[in-house]
Amino acid sequence: MRITKEIVEYAADLSRIKLTEAETEKFISELSAVLDYMEILNQLDTENTEPVSHIFDINNVMRADIVKDSYPAEAILANAPNVEFTVPKTIEEL
């Protein structure tokens, strides 16, 4: 597929961006280079290659989610210097 000025302008319009003439020409060149590279990759023989989601064999290292009782609020608040929490007023009344 050949990238044309119309394709770049259409993509810019969909993206809600304005491009100068120089930027349009630059994007034509850059997007053409990307598609040329994709064509090279399409020529590779991947017949016996299994699809993978990661290049490394990864495992979930998080612990199991076990439901258990929480600490009592009184025990946690025993460490607080003041158990009365107040928020300063930030809106003036009319």
Mean pLDDT score, 68-88: 85
Name the residue ranges covered by the structural domains of the chain: 5-42
13-69 pLDDT tens trace: 999 999 999 999 999 999 999 999 999 999 999 888 888 877 787 777 788 889 999
The predicted pLDDT at position 27 comes to 95
- Write down the pTM of the prediction: 0.51
What kind of architecture, by CATH, is found in domain 5-42? Orthogonal Bundle (1.10)
The predicted pLDDT at position 13 comes to 95
- Give the Cα separation of 24 and 13 in Å (integer): 12
The predicted pLDDT at position 56 comes to 80
> Is residue 24 within 8 Å of residue 9, measured between CB atoms?
yes
pLDDT at 76 over 80: yes
- Give the Cα separation of 37 and 42 in Å (integer): 9
